[in-house]
């Protein structure tokens, strides 16, 4: 049996006195829009008619659409693998700060994941508005949404998704300079779009250019940041930044932006707050279909054949993974660590992780035979799996690459299992080439074997977005 699939700023005195901090229900503060057609920017956009802090926060998949179920947060650290279905903490009320000094503003997530890694885009500029500006900050918590999903939004917007994001306020969208990394995570510095947006019955033209964020990346926390220079009706540029980090069963989002003093700052705060609140309504499905089951499966190929042992399938996956080195992968196998990291490895399919027998040494580049991990993950259905690192001398197939990890797999509490082998080496064009081989009982069925191949490709591709930072921070040769 054979199956092959290619995947080929200064404030005026009046503004400084206008300090206002309020908390309100995010749904209740959406602004009614008037039906006035926007004035397009040049080049023209086809408009739509208007319609009316440094420690990881605990996370859990419970309640996250498209995310694994079963991991619940402990009180003061990463998830502890408690029972499925535990309720996420209640959402906090959004907070807005208008006209305050930076020292008086609510603290938002200070950590930032890499944004367009390796990109040398422009740095965020100080505001250059024609007159005084008013700083505005909004902080809110989104239940049921991981930061990785928000990472996917920025480079992958188009006119239909932009309208879906805020149907009553987003009137038109077009890339002026599209990102080169469409399909990837993060915001590519230098990418620029024009939009027409309606705020408090007024139509505004925006020119948004992504920039390098001022906050350094923190690889320990599942987090992200996007920064931009924004022109509003030709005035600016003014700074704009959204930082977000995992917060229990959801994500804490902190927006900071500046507005020309003549604009209605409260209305703009409500506008930006309301559109962030809409992300859970469409982003999980889009992320899963377009990125996890779409983009990631174009980055390699897989095949399923009869195994060398009767009654088995052999699954082989080959792929190139950017941003990784062989040494990073050598280090990773004994440093998966806990559920927090395990869920970052595949945000929508990994549920929990624990060492049954932990490796004795983790500050090296050699996996430790005898270490045993127990994971819960979803491949077609959720299952608990025990994985044991085995002696390198026992590898049952000829090796293609120099670096590898080899282990046995078994459904927890049963002899039902097989082996896995991940081998890899540096790619001359950057990143690594990886070949993964699994042998599994054919009783699992061909659909499961093909889903296993997809899962392997997806999880390995996620590593490039956080392992380089962890390796740099934690490995001490």
Q: How far apart are CA 287 and CA 99, in angstroms?
A: 35
Q: What is the pLDDT of residue 92?
A: 53
Q: How far apart are CA 250 and CA 220, in angstroms?
A: 17
CATH of the structural domain 20-291, one choice from 3.40.50.300, 3.20.20.70, 3.30.9.10, 3.30.530.20: 3.30.530.20
Q: What is the pLDDT of residue 50?
A: 34
**What average pLDDT values come out for the chain (477 residues) when binned by 10 residues?**
51 32 31 34 38 35 42 39 34 66 34 38 57 92 96 97 97 98 94 97 97 81 94 94 93 95 94 97 98 98 94 97 98 97 98 98 97 98 97 97 98 95 98 98 96 98 97 94
- Does the domain made of 299-474 have the CATH classification 3.20.20.70? no
Q: What is the pLDDT of residue 453?
A: 98
Write b or e for each residue in 323-338: b if 16 or more Cβ atoms lie within 10 A of its Cβ, otherwise e: bbbbebbbbbbbbbbb
- Whether 333 and 420 have beta carbons less than 8 Å apart is answered as no
Q: What is the pLDDT of residue 313?
A: 97
Torsions phi, psi for 72 (to 5 deg): -115, 150
Q: How far apart are CA 402 and CA 407, in angstroms?
A: 16
Q: How far apart are CA 328 and CA 325, in angstroms?
A: 5
Q: What is the pLDDT of residue 99?
A: 67
Bridge-partner residues for 314, per DSSP? Answer: 305, 439
Q: How far apart are CA 332 and CA 328, in angstroms?
A: 6
C-alpha distances in angstroms, 308 versus 140, 281, 318? 55, 47, 19
Bridge-partner residues for 407, per DSSP? Answer: 389, 420
To the question of pTM greater than 0.75 for the whole model, the response is: yes
Q: How is the chain split into domains, by residue range?
A: 20-291, 299-474
């Amino acid at each position: 049996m054979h199956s092959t699939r290619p995947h080929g700023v200064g404030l005026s005195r009046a503004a400084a006195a206008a300090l206002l901090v309020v908390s309100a229900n995010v749904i209740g503060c959406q602004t009614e829009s008037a039906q006035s057609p926007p004035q397009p920017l040049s080049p023209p956009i086809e408009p739509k008619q208007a319609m009316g802090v440094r420690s990881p926060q605990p996370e859990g998949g419970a309640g996250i659409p498209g995310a694994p179920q079963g991991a619940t947060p402990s009180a003061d650290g990463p998830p502890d693998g408690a029972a499925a279905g535990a309720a996420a903490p209640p959402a906090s009320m959004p907070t807005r700060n208008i006209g305050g000094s930076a020292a008086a503003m609510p603290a938002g997530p200070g950590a930032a994941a890499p944004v367009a890694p390796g990109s040398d885009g422009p740095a965020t500029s100080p505001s250059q508005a024609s007159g005084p500006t008013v700083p505005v900050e909004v902080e809110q918590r989104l239940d049921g949404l991981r930061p990785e999903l928000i990472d996917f939004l920025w480079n992958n917007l188009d006119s239909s998704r932009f309208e879906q994001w805020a149907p009553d306020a987003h009137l038109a969208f077009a890339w002026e300079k599209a990102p080169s990394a469409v399909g990837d995570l993060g915001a590519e510095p230098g990418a620029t779009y024009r939009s027409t947006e309606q705020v408090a019955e007024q139509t505004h033209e925006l020119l948004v250019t992504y920039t390098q964020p001022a906050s350094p990346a923190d690889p320990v926390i599942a987090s992200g940041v996007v920064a931009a220079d924004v022109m509003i009706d030709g005035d600016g540029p003014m700074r704009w930044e959204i930082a977000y980090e995992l917060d229990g069963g959801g994500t804490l989002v902190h927006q900071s932006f500046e507005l020309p003093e003549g604009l209605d700052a409260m209305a703009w705060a409500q506008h930006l707050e309301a559109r962030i609140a809409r992300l859970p309504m469409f982003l999980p499905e889009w992320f899963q279909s377009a990125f996890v089951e779409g983009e990631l499966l174009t980055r390699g190929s897989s095949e399923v054949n009869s195994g060398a042992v009767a009654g088995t399938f052999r699954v082989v996956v080959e792929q190139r993974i950017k941003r990784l080195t062989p040494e990073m992968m050598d280090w990773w196998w004994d440093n998966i660590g806990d559920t927090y990291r395990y869920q970052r490895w595949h945000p929508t399919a990994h549920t929990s992780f624990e060492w049954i027998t932990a490796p004795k040494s983790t500050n090296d580049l050699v996996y430790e035979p005898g270490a045993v991990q127990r994971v819960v993950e979803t491949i077609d259905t959720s299952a608990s799996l025990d994985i044991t690192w085995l002696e390198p001398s026992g590898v049952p197939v000829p090796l293609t690459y120099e670096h590898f990890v080899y282990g046995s797999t078994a459904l927890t509490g049963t002899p039902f299992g097989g082996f896995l082998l991940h081998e890899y080496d540096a790619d001359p064009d950057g990143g690594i080439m990886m070949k993964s081989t699994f042998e599994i009982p054919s009783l699992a069925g061909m659909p499961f074997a093909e889903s296993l191949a997809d899962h392997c490709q997806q999880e390995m591709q996620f590593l490039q977005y956080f392992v380089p930072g962890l390796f740099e921070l934690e490995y001490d040769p």
